[in-house]
């Protein structure tokens, strides 16, 4: 049933022994060569035997344990525990006792009398120390230093100023001197991937299974996505998921403020009306259904239904066999559709202001997250917005001229035979950045020949259309247009594009125009692409929680 090409269990060669029970730096533990699998097994058995022996010794020692009740499984209590978040911690907490809940990022026994924990909370790290001194016992130190990496623990301790800042911690100017440590959720000793190994940007496929200069395993994007729950725990992933959340939030904020109604149109549709080959087929009781490739026809039907201004935030499905850095088979679509009074530029300006609002507010509200992400993905640099707060708008033919000026062969585009290629779009992005100092811009007036049937032709020059694309760093993030709202014009346009208006599945859509429909325009944004290009991520999969592509259906 599920994707059999993909590993369904953590491969032993990809795992790494987490937190050895006694001493040693986990960084140098088990490299990921295939032949080590057998060794690992023997080691695990030995560890189990040792664990049993230790348990017996522990039981014998328990009577003498001065730290009894200060560590171990979390005790049941009716007391309400008040915890402090890492993000709250500051110098003001020096010498105060706090209780935190965090993951063990690393655990290390230095000696019988001293152990270190690196604690991690949503990617942020704080060091904790435990030293033997009444009532802290050697047993408690052993327990603490032997905690499995990634376990979730509740730690109570005194916040201290460290002698020198702890460079390996995110919060380096304080450390926790442990008083109590309880297990909340224990992680397995073997993890398929270490969260710390996902903290570095993904390397190429060729580097998979290699180690880097410091001896740490290199994990590819594939390994990270296969183990996405661990991968989400890095500070960078945490920050990216905040930006995704922010884009959706800002889009809905802007739309609601404009008086728009939030709509939910069906994803299960009766016919493949928007291009048959790229549509997923669904078994629907005794017949077939299809997954909507966009809410295009339905949001227009809402306009015909007098809703005037509508938006939708919903998955969009594309059965396109594209295995590129920017294609997904399922992504979050941000769609809107709006009537206008005099000219479609009313809607175009509305959409330009929408994007300027989203991008400006992202910078304002998510500055710490953006800074975190830039540490991992610095290449693209800051996203440049137009200084005057208004989007740069050029005509399609201006774009053609700029590329021609730069020596690109634009003859096909000048003859309206083809839209820009991806390479042309990217080059145009560079040219516009150099010339206008912005990474966001709009091209208006695309040739009618390269746009879908429902696009309104420019009444003054029918070779062109009242349609526009939005670009971020030279890649398309939105396509939109004025739509034809006259039934005769619409049927003619369909026929001129080789579509049959009497084809099954179009009746309801076409009837909407037979019954009178006001002039309207709109657009559809790809949320994941906005996140990707805003942050300069190398792959759209990094901007999706659980990405779907032709090869990937899990996790």
Catalytic residues: 318, 320, 326-327, 476, 479, 529
Q: Which of 30, 223, 237, 376 binds a copy of itself (CB under 8 A)?
A: 237
Question: Which pair of tokens denotes residue 378?
Answer: 């610095």
339, 368, 377, 378, 535 from 372: Cα distances, Å: 41, 6, 9, 10, 11
Does 436 contact a copy of itself by CB under 8 A?
no
Q: Which of 291, 391, 457, 525 binds a copy of itself (CB under 8 A)?
A: 291
Does 261 contact a copy of itself by CB under 8 A?
yes
Does 101 contact a copy of itself by CB under 8 A?
yes
- The answer to whether 137 and 149 are in contact (CB under 8 A) is no
Terminal CA-CA length for the chain: 14
Q: Which of 282, 380, 431, 499 binds a copy of itself (CB under 8 A)?
A: 282
Does 94 contact a copy of itself by CB under 8 A?
no
Chain-centroid distance, C-alpha 266: 25
For Cα atoms 133, 136, 138, give the angle at the middle one, nearest 5 degrees: 95
Strands (E), 250-354: 261-262, 268-269, 281-284, 287-291, 309-317, 330-339
Shortest reach from residue 27's CB to a copy of itself, in Å:
19
Chain-centroid distance, C-alpha 127: 28
Q: Which of 131, 132, 218, 248 binds a copy of itself (CB under 8 A)?
A: 248
Q: Position of tokens 């695309």?
A: 446
Task: Single out the segment in contact with a copy of itself by CB under 8 A; choices: 207-215, 228-236, 422-430, 435-443.
Answer: 228-236
Shortest reach from residue 138's CB to a copy of itself, in Å:
26
What are residue 99's DSSP bridge partners?
Answer: 156
Number of residues in the chain:
555
Does 287 contact a copy of itself by CB under 8 A?
yes
Print the binding letters for residues 130-169 with a copy of itself: x by CB under 8 A, - otherwise: --------------------xxx-----------------
Q: Which of 34, 38, 81, 423 binds a copy of itself (CB under 8 A)?
A: 81
Chain-centroid distance, C-alpha 543: 3
Does 457 contact a copy of itself by CB under 8 A?
no
Does 285 contact a copy of itself by CB under 8 A?
yes
Site for a copy of itself in 7-36 (CB under 8 A): 8-10
Task: Single out the segment in contact with a copy of itself by CB under 8 A; choices: 210-218, 274-282, 398-406, 424-432.
Answer: 274-282
Q: Please give the radius of gyration of the chain, using alpha carbons only, rounded to the nearest integer.
A: 29
Q: Please identify, using beta-carbon distances, which residue of 443 and 521 lies nearer to a copy of itself.
A: 521
Residues 145 and 130: their CA atoms lie apart, in Å, by: 9
Does 517 contact a copy of itself by CB under 8 A?
yes
Does 322 contact a copy of itself by CB under 8 A?
no
Residues 404 and 394: their CA atoms lie apart, in Å, by: 15
Q: Please identify, using beta-carbon distances, which residue of 233 and 467 lies nearer to a copy of itself.
A: 233
Site for a copy of itself in 374-433 (CB under 8 A): none
User: Quick one: which of 522, 524, 515 has its CA closest to 490?
Assistant: 515
- The answer to whether 106 and 37 are in contact (CB under 8 A) is no
Print the binding letters for residues 347-376 with a copy of itself: x by CB under 8 A, - otherwise: ------------------------------
Give the largest Cα separation in the chain, rounded: 93
Does 508 contact a copy of itself by CB under 8 A?
yes
Does 307 contact a copy of itself by CB under 8 A?
yes
Question: Which pair of tokens denotes residue 113?
Answer: 């009398």
User: Which residues touch 212 (CB under 8 Å, ≥6 apart)?
Assistant: 200, 218
Shortest reach from residue 508's CB to a copy of itself, in Å:
3
């Amino acid at each position: 049933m599920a994707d059999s090409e993909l590993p369904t269990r953590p491969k032993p060669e990809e795992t790494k022994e987490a937190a050895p029970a006694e001493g040693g730096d986990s960084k140098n533990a088990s490299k990921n060569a295939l032949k080590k699998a057998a060794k690992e097994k023997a080691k695990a058995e030995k560890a189990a035997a040792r664990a049993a022996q230790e348990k017996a010794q522990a039981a014998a020692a328990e009577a003498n344990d001065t730290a009894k009740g200060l560590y171990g499984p979390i005790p049941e209590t009716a007391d309400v525990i008040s915890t402090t978040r890492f993000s709250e911690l500051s110098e003001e907490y020096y010498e105060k006792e706090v209780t935190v809940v965090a993951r063990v990022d690393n655990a290390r026994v230095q000696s019988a009398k001293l152990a270190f924990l690196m604690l991690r909370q949503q990617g942020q790290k704080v060091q904790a120390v435990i030293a033997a001194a009444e009532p802290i016992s050697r047993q408690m130190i052993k327990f603490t230093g032997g905690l499995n990496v990634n376990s979730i623990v509740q730690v109570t301790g005194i916040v201290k100023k460290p002698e020198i800042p702890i460079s390996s911690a995110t919060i380096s100017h304080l450390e926790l001197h442990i008083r109590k440590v309880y297990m909340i959720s224990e992680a397995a000793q073997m993890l398929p991937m270490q969260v710390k190994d996902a903290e570095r940007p993904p390397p190429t496929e060729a580097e998979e299974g290699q180690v880097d200069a410091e001896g740490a395993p290199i994990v590819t994007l594939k390994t990270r996505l296969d183990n996405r729950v661990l991968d989400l725990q890095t500070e960078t992933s945490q920050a990216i998921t905040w930006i995704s959340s922010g884009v959706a939030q800002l889009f809905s904020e802007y739309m609601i403020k404009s008086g728009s109604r939030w709509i939910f149109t069906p994803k299960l549709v009766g016919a493949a009306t928007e291009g048959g080959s790229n549509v997923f087929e669904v078994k629907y009781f005794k017949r077939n259904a299809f997954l909507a490739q966009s809410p295009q026809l339905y949001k227009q039907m809402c306009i015909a239904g007098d809703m005037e201004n509508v938006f939708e935030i919903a998955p969009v499905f594309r059965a396109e066999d594209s295995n590129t850095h920017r294609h997904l088979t399922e992504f979050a679509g941000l769609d809107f559709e709006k009537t206008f009074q005099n000219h479609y530029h009313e809607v175009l300006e509305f959409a330009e202001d929408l994007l300027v609002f989203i991008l400006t507010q992202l910078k304002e509200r998510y500055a710490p997250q953006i800074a975190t992400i830039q540490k991992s993905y610095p290449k693209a640099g800051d996203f440049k917005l137009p200084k005057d707060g208004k989007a740069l708008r050029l005509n399609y033919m201006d774009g053609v001229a700029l590329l021609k000026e730069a020596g690109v062969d634009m003859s096909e585009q000048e003859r309206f035979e083809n839209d820009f290629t991806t390479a042309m779009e990217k080059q145009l992005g560079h040219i516009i950045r150099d010339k206008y100092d912005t990474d966001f811009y709009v091209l208006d007036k695309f040739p009618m020949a390269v746009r879908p049937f429902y696009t309104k032709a420019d009444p003054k020059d029918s070779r062109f259309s009242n349609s526009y694309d939005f670009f971020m760093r030279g890649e398309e993030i939105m396509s939109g247009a004025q739509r034809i709202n006259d039934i005769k014009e619409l049927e003619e346009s369909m026929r001129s594009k080789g579509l049959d208006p009497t084809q099954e599945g179009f009746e309801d859509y076409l009837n909407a125009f037979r019954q009178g429909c006001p002039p309207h325009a709109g657009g559809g944004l790809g949320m994941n692409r906005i996140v990707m290009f805003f942050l300069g991520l190398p792959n759209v999969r990094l901007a999706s929680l659980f990405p779907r592509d032709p090869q990937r259906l899990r996790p």
